Every structure is written in C-alpha cells, then in structure tokens.
Amino acid sequence: MECARLERPRGDSADAIPLALARQEITRAAGAIAASPGETVENWLIRNGQTARLRELLWDPLALAALNQPPSEAAAPPFARVLAEMFGPDPRAASIALPVKPLDQMYAEPARTYIEAHGGRVKTASPATVHVSRGATEVASGTDRWFAGGIVVSVPWFAVSDVFHGDVGPLETHDRPCPQHERLSRS
C-alpha cells in the first residue's frame, strides 16, 4: 500500500495540551474502564477536553477508520481500547497508515469491475431491501425489482435487519458446499 507522507501540522498550540492530557488519561486508564458504557466517542472526547479542531482533524477520522461509524454514533469503550493499544508500550501497535487514494478506488471499484465482468450487477448509493421467500431472493431498490441467485449487501451491522425481510431465520447446515461454492473453489 502506498501511503502519503505527512508534514508536521502547524496547528494551534492550544490543541497540544488537550492532546497530551488525552494520552495521559488513556495510558493511565489502560486495563481499566476509560469510557463509560453507552457513551459515544464524541461525548467521551469532549469530556476529556479535546478541542473541536483536534476532534475534526485527528480523533473523528481515527474513530471512523477504527470503528466504521461516525463519532456521534460510535461507542466510546472500543475506541478507548484502540487508543490504549496505540499509546501502549508496543511501538508496532502505534503505526497508522493513511492511503494515498480513497478506499473505494482500492476496493469497491475493482470489486465492481470483477462482478460486472462476470455477469453480475452492482448498484451503489441505492437503498435496497431483500425479501427471502421459499428460497427465492427478491431485491427491491427504488422502482427496480429483480430476483438474484446471490447477493452482496454492504451495510453496517446495525442496519442488517432493515435490509432483510421474509424467511430470514438461521441458514440450514449442509453436509457439502453449495454448487456455487464448488464452482468458485475450482476456479
């Protein structure tokens, strides 16, 4: 992965003190509960004296990258654990890489190209629902409806129940892989 080279930021020196206090609090709380259950990352950062500028430039992007949720929604305890590891004694845990190009260009677009080259259909930025009934999978997005033999849905874990409807109980277990798995494993 090619990463950008970052210069030392020339920010407000008022941000240095809250940053140092946060590191001190995180290091001190390692192994203890640094954030309250039910507390958001945003509220936790504010409670720990982090300035709006520091949150915008450092903590918010880090929280989004680490937890895949905006700081206003993300739970603070897992974020505090990530920070405790970063600021901990192992220097390998403190490495951060920022990609040179957006992640959609690194992952989503190549996946789209592959799926479409193999006869699949990709719809993005199109909220959809999936209705499963008697083994058939119907996808609805806006006014479009179609049946699919297989689908890939990319939503946060908490949105899965909004997407899938119908016969969505546990999948049956099989003694052998399904035919699609056999075909893919041979290619």
Helices (H) and strands (E) in the chain, counts: 9, 4
Q: Based on the domain organization, do 111 and 174 belong to the same domain?
A: yes
Q: What is the pLDDT of residue 68?
A: 80
Higher-confidence position of 178 and 168? 168
Residue 176 has pLDDT above 60, yes or no: no
- Residue 3: phi, psi to the nearest 5? -120, 150
Lowest mean pLDDT among 73-87, 116-130, 144-158, 161-175: 161-175
Q: Does 1 map to a domain?
A: no
- Please, which residues have CB within 8 angstroms of residue 10's CB and are 6 or more apart in sequence? none
Tell me the whole-structure pTM to 2 decimals: 0.47
- Residue 44: phi, psi to the nearest 5? -65, -45
Q: Based on the domain organization, do 54 and 107 belong to the same domain?
A: no
Domain count for the chain: 2
Question: Which residues constitute the domain of residue 40?
Answer: 13-94
Please state, for a pLDDT cut of 90, what percent of the chain lies above it.
Answer: 20
Q: Based on the domain organization, do 65 and 109 belong to the same domain?
A: no
Q: What is the pLDDT of residue 31?
A: 46
Q: Based on the domain organization, do 110 and 79 belong to the same domain?
A: no
